[in-house]
Structure 1
Amino acid sequence: MTLQHETAAPTDAPQPRRTPRLDWRDHAIYIGFVVVFLLFAVTLGADGFLTGSNLLNIVRQTAVIAVMAVAGTLVIAAAQIDLSVGSVAGLSSVVTAMTLSATGNLLVGVLAGVGVGLLVGVINGGLVAYARIPSFLVTLAMLGIAGGVAQWISGFQPIPILDRTFTMIFGSGDFGPIPSLLLWAVVVVAIGVVVMNKTAFGRQILATGGNPVAATFSGVRVQRITFAVLVISSVVAAIAGMLYAGRLQSGRFQWGTGDELSVIAAVVLGGTSLFGGTGRVLGSVVGALFVGLINNGLILAGLDVSQQIIIQGVIIIIAVALTRKR
């Protein structure tokens, strides 16, 4: 009987190269943005949707949300949440306006506004990182505290800002052909992209959000990272409040009301997981523009506020469902 031996393939034989598989969900927010833009362009073109002034208005209306969404991406990527950003923005606008009115000094006013964000951030970060209180509870409480303080010190009244240099820099002016709001957004986004994608701090944020235990054993100081992202979030929210104050030339406790939900929606729509471990700054910015685009289109379509809210909610749910990976 003849024995037949099977010849094994050499282990060092070249293996076929596998082409990386592209998942359309990674680009769903960009696809959705283009589809909705084209839909509004076709249906609302006669209503002025495509005019330069309207498109610039969309950018201006979403610039402040985009700024806060950059910091929100860092927070959510670290598996935390910050619900206080809207109230911090309002409080910062009031404190800045009151300080400018009392001192007439631009630098002192700006430092007072930033100081509000720094103080709130230290409190939030300390309670979450070191007292180990969930960020949802801490920042939810701070939302009420900051909003209440803003109402109390302002007496429920707007505080006018007469400093033209401040209003020009923070929202009302133009640097050449570029609106100052857009310039602020571009600078903050550029910094966020570099921090998230090119620095050790960004990698540590993702490690902290992905698996804090493994990150700790890898030498990442998880508590310090958690503290840092919450401080950054509050400081950026304070800057956003000054942008509101500069653009609208007054400090009011209402500025920023509800922005925390818009920021979270923009970040999640942009592809950052609410469970942490991923962070896409550019995606968050497109998410903010997407929300602003929807708001603008629905207003031009003549829908009332209740209908706008319903449709916005439906679109966001569909978008998140489509981008969710199984």
Structure 2
Amino acid sequence: MSDLSASTARQSAASRIADFLRDHITYVIFLGITLYFILFAPHFASLSTASAVLRITAIVSVMAIGMTFVIVCGEIDLSVGSVASFSGMIGALLMDRGMSSYAAALTVLAEGALIGAVSGVLVTKVRIPSFLVTLGMLSIFSGLALTITGTRPVPIVDDGFSNLFWNGGMFGIQAPIWWTIALTIVGYYLLHQMAYGRRVFATGGNAVAARFSGVRTDWVKIVAFMLSGSTAALAGLMLAARSTAGNPSLGAGLELDVIAAVIIGGTSLFGGYGSILGSVVGAIFIGILGFGLLVLGLSTSIQEVIKGAIIIIAVSLNRR
């Protein structure tokens, strides 16, 4: 009997381990790749490297937090990269015309939320698929960012602005990392602790059932797009602070990394399931992957091939 009990216990333990690995396969891959870089990439295992990776991935992390709400709702937002570029340009122009950095930042965040609200209304009220709406928004705001100043960057000379969003810090932690931490806490509380978050999951899981249960699904989606737009605007301010200028092309292509981070983090592309922490981990995963390949001395073209292949494998395993 004791041998049988021991065998059953071992099988039960093995089953629990297998279930854990299956449910957290993305994190297993994440740890495996990180361990590989620690062992084989020169000087990768250091606090300075960790700080650099977190700083580099802060912009994608911030945008991924807002994108998580949209994807959990069962929608998509392809406009975040162009909204970030446009927002950085607007912030630089407002400060160039004498507005204080804080007032300019608040105005830009409101502008991002307004852009998101417009996208949300077009999706929910006009019934245009979010893919098409946000693809159109991507084109509109990419063009506007280039048109406003005739493709020329707008310098930012306000050191307070640069310190607030990029160069500053507290307790030895740089400002971008603080922004990531703050947004992660707020996003986690909103999605996982508040009633709105439960409505987001219900809307993404089954919009019809949620509507019959009294959930105002259209309003839930509009707010999700507003969150995505405002986090994209915040990322635009961070990009502008990093380069000390509003540049019309700084956010180009970021939407792909943002969506990849959210999906790698375990959020279902079909809605109804996801987590804020997972999205941030997905963004850090992409950052570590790019940084590690760079440290190994691989060419940019090879880096893109390897990074794309690993992302596809990670997402495929996560889907299974």
Query: What do residues 229-266 of structure 1 show as CA deviations (whole Å, max 9, x unaligned)?
Result: 01110011001100111122111111211111111101
Runs of 4+ in 1 over 6 A off after TM superposition: none
| 38, 56, 63: which one aligns with 2:58 | 63
Give unpaired runs (5+ residues) of structure 1.
1-17
Partner of 1:7: none
Q: TM-score, normalised by structure 1?
A: 0.91
Q: Say whether the 8 Å CA contact 1:25–1:324 is kept in structure 2.
A: no
Question: Post-superposition shift, 1:154?
Answer: 2.3
Q: Say whether the 8 Å CA contact 2:89–2:246 is kept in structure 1.
A: yes
Q: Say whether the 8 Å CA contact 2:26–2:317 is kept in structure 1.
A: no
| 161, 170, 195: which one aligns with 2:165 | 170
Partner of 2:317: 322
Q: TM-score, normalised by structure 2?
A: 0.92
The 5-angstrom pairing of residues 173-192 of structure 1 reads 173-192=168-187
Change (3 A) 1:85 1:212: same
Partner of 2:222: 227
Q: Say whether the 8 Å CA contact 1:91–1:116 is kept in structure 2.
A: no
Give unpaired runs (5+ residues) of structure 2.
1-11
Report the RMSD for the aligned CA atoms in angstroms. Answer: 1.5
Secondary structure, counterpart of 1:154 in structure 2 = coil
The 5-angstrom pairing of residues 76-155 of structure 1 reads 76-155=71-150
Give identity over the alignment, percent: 42
Residue 31 (structure 1) aligned with residue 28 (structure 2): yes
Question: Post-superposition shift, 1:175?
Answer: 1.6
Q: Distance in 1 between matches of 2:251 and 2:285?
A: 18
Question: Post-superposition shift, 1:23?
Answer: 4.2
Q: Distance in 1 between matches of 2:285 and 2:29?
A: 8
Partner of 1:291: 286
Q: Distance in 1 between matches of 2:237 and 2:149?
A: 15
Per residue, is there more helix in 1 or in 2?
2
Secondary structure, counterpart of 2:182 in structure 1 = helix
Q: Say whether the 8 Å CA contact 1:121–1:233 is kept in structure 2.
A: yes
- When the two structures are aligned, how many residues end up with a matched partner? 306
Find the structure with the greater CA-based Rg: 1
Partner of 1:260: 255
Q: Distance in 1 between matches of 2:286 and 2:272?
A: 24
Question: Post-superposition shift, 1:55?
Answer: 2.1
Q: Say whether the 8 Å CA contact 1:193–1:282 is kept in structure 2.
A: yes
Q: Distance in 2 between matches of 1:26 and 1:192?
A: 22
Residue 41 (structure 1) aligned with residue 38 (structure 2): yes
